[in-house]
Chain A
Amino acid sequence: MKTRNSVAIIAPILLMFGTLSQAADSVGMDPELRNKAKRAVDAGLHYLRGQQADDGSWSNSVGVTALGLRAFLQSHRGYNEADGAFITKPIAFMLAHTNDDGSISETNQNRNYNTAVCMTALAATGNDKYDEALSGARDFLKHLQIDEDDGYERDHAYYGGIGYGGDERPDLSNAYMALEGLQASATDPDDPVWEKALLFVSRSQNRSESNDQEWAANDGGFTYMPGFSPNGGTASYGGMTAAGLLSLLFAGVDKEDPRIQAAYDWIRTNYTLEHNPGSDGGVQGLYYYYNVFSKSMAAYGADILVDADGNEHNWRNDLAGKLLSLQNDDGSWVNPDSPRWWEGNKELVTAWSVIALNAALK
C-alpha cells in the first residue's frame, strides 16, 4: 500500500520532469534571428501584395496564386478573410477555375500541382464554406492516382503514383504535393489513397529493403520517380528526399519507421543549405528544396541535425540565415541561376520562401 502511494506521488513528478526536459530539448530559432525572419516574411508579403493583380491572382496562375495566399494565411501575422480583398480575391480567383472534374486549374498541364496547392490554401483559411470545393478536388486527386482503374497492377512501378495530370507519368514531386493537399483537407486516414501512395513513395526511395525495384540503392534518399533522377541515374537528392520523408509522414507512417529514419539520416548526413544536395550543380530546384526541407523538418519534429562529421546544426537558424542573405531589396526571392521548375518566377519563389520561413518560425 505504501509503495503504491509512493508511485502515485512520484509518477506525476517524473512525468512533469519529463515534459520539462522535452521542452528544454525543443530548440527554436534564436530570438534575434526570429525577429529578422519575421521582418523578412513581412517584406516578402509586402512584395507579393505589390505584385497582386486586380483579380487577386499572382502570375496569372492558379498555382502561384494558391501559394501566395498560403504564404499570407500561415504567416505570423495570422491573416484571414476578414483582412480584406487581398485575401478574398485570390480565393475567388482559384474557385473561378474549378472545373467539372473537381480540379482547380487554369490549364490542362499542372492540374495536379494546381489543385493540390489550392486545397492546401483553401484548407488554411479554416473556412468550412470551401468544403464542397475541397471535396471535389479530393475526388479529382484520387481519380488521378494511378491504379487498377488505369490498367496498372500493384507490381507496376507507377502504381499509386500521381503525375502532372496531363499524362500518366507519375513522380514523387507531384505525389508529395497531392498528399499534402489531401492531408490538409482532412482526407480519411483509412482511405485507400494513402496505402496506394505509400507503395509509390516507397518505390522512389533508395532503400532496397522496402523498395522492390531492381535499381534501388541503399543510401535512404529519394529520387524523382522510380528509376529516374534528373541528376543522373537514380541518384538521391535533397528536394526529393525531404519530399519523400514528408510524404511518408502524410501517409501516416510512424516517425520511427525505418523508411523515415533512412530518409532522415540521408538529410542529416548530406546536410547543407548552401545548395540543393545531390542536384546537378546544386542550383536547380534550390527554393523548392528550402520549402520542402523546412516543412519536412518541422513535421518530423527535428530541431538539431547532426551531419556526417558530427557537427550539430540548428536548421531553423541556418534556413532563416540563408533565406535572409538571399532576399532581394524589394523583399522578393528568385533563383538567378536556374529557371527550372519555375524558379525564375519571383512571385512563386517569394511565396515558397515565405512558406519556408513560416514553417521554421513555428
Chain B
Amino acid sequence: MWFVVPLAASLLLAKFLYDAPRQPGNDELMVLLYAAATLLSAVLLTPLNSSVSQQSMWNLVSRCATAAMIFLAASLLDPQTRALFAQLFLASALLFLVLLAALSLVFAFFEHRTAARQSVFSLTAALLLAPLWLGPLAELSGNKPMLSNLIVGISPLSVIATSLDFDYLRTSWFYKHSVLGSLRYEYFSASSYMLALIAIIAGCSFAVAGGKFTRIAQPFRKRVNAS
C-alpha cells in the first residue's frame, strides 16, 4: 500500500493548490508546498520494486534528507521560479505516480509482466504524442472545441505545460508537426489535472486492493464452500 503516503500528500497539496493564487507570495502556502513536495520526492526516490515499509528507518530518513536538500536549494530561487518549480514538481510527481499505479494495476491482473509493462509504456507514449497523431482528427471534425481540448488534455505533456503556464503546442517544433497549434484549444486547468490524476491513482489503488482481496478471499471461500 505504498500509494497511501503520496496519495495523502497529493490530496493535501491539491487542496491548497486549488485556491492558490497564480502569483506567488503566500508564504504559508509555499511552506506547505515544500513540505508536501519533500514528502513526495522521498517516496519517489524509493526503488520501484520496494515498499516504504520494507525500507529501514535510516534509509528512509536519508532519502527524506536528500529531498529536503533539493528543496532547500530550490528555496534560494526567486519567488516566481520557486512557485513554478513547486508546481512542476507536483505535476511530474503525480504523473509518475499515475504511471506506477497503472503498472501496479496491470501487474495485479495480468500474469505476463513484460507484456503488461510494454503495454503501459506504449499507452504512455501514445498519450504523450496525442497532439501529433490525433491532431488531424480535431481538424477533420471542424475544430470542435471539446474534442480539441480533450486531445490536448490527455497528453501528459499538457500536464507539465499547464504547471508552467507554457503553451508548448505553439513552440516551433510542435507548430510545425501538429495541426493543433493552428486550431482553437484550451488547456485544462491545473486544479482539474490534479484532481483527475489523484482520482486515477486512487482508482488504480482501489482496483489493486480489490484484486488482492479477491485473491486472498478465494481460498477462504473455497474452504467455506467445501465445509
CB-nearest residue of chain A to B143: A339
How many Å from the CB of B91 to the closest CB on chain A? 15
Q: Are A166 and B183 in contact (CB under 8 A)?
A: no
Q: Binding site of B, secondary structure by majority: helix, strand, loop or mixed?
A: loop
Q: Binding site of A, secondary structure by majority: helix, strand, loop or mixed?
A: loop
Assess A169 versus B171: contact at CB under 8 Å? Given A108-B165, A342-B143. Answer: yes
Q: Are B182 and A169 in contact (CB under 8 A)?
A: no
Chain A neighbourhood of B176, CB < 8 A: 228, 230
User: Is residue A222 contacting chain B, with contact meaning CB distance below 8 A?
Assistant: no
Interface range, A side: 10 to 19
Count A/B pairs, Cβ under 8 Å.
Answer: 49
Q: Are A340 and B139 in contact (CB under 8 A)?
A: yes
Assess A339 versus B167: contact at CB under 8 Å? Given A169-B172, A228-B172, A345-B184. Answer: no
User: Is residue A344 contacting chain B, with contact meaning CB distance below 8 A?
Assistant: yes
Q: Which of B142-176 contact A (CB under 8 A)?
A: 142-143, 165-168, 170-172, 175-176
How many Å from the CB of B172 to the closest CB on chain A? 5
Q: State which of A100, A167, A228, A342 has its C-beta within 8 Å of the C-beta of B170.
A: A167
For B, the interface residue count at a CB cutoff of 8 angstroms equals: 20
Mask: chain B, 106-129; 1 = CB below 8 Å from A; 0 = not: 000000000000000000000000
Q: Are A340 and B183 in contact (CB under 8 A)?
A: yes
CB-nearest residue of chain B to A338: B139
How many Å from the CB of A179 to the closest CB on chain B? 19
Q: Are B184 and A167 in contact (CB under 8 A)?
A: no
CA distance in complex: A345, B143 (Å): 9
- Residues on B lying within 8 angstroms of A by beta carbon are 23, 139, 142-143, 165-168, 170-172, 175-176, 179, 182-187
- Residues on A lying within 8 angstroms of B by beta carbon are 100, 107-109, 163-167, 169, 228, 230, 338-342, 344-345
Pairs across A and B, CB under 8 Å, 26 listed: A107-B186, A108-B165, A108-B187, A109-B185, A165-B167, A166-B165, A166-B166, A166-B167, A167-B166, A167-B167, A167-B171, A169-B170, A169-B171, A169-B172, A169-B175, A228-B172, A228-B176, A230-B176, A338-B139, A339-B143, A339-B183, A340-B179, A340-B182, A341-B182, A344-B142, A345-B143
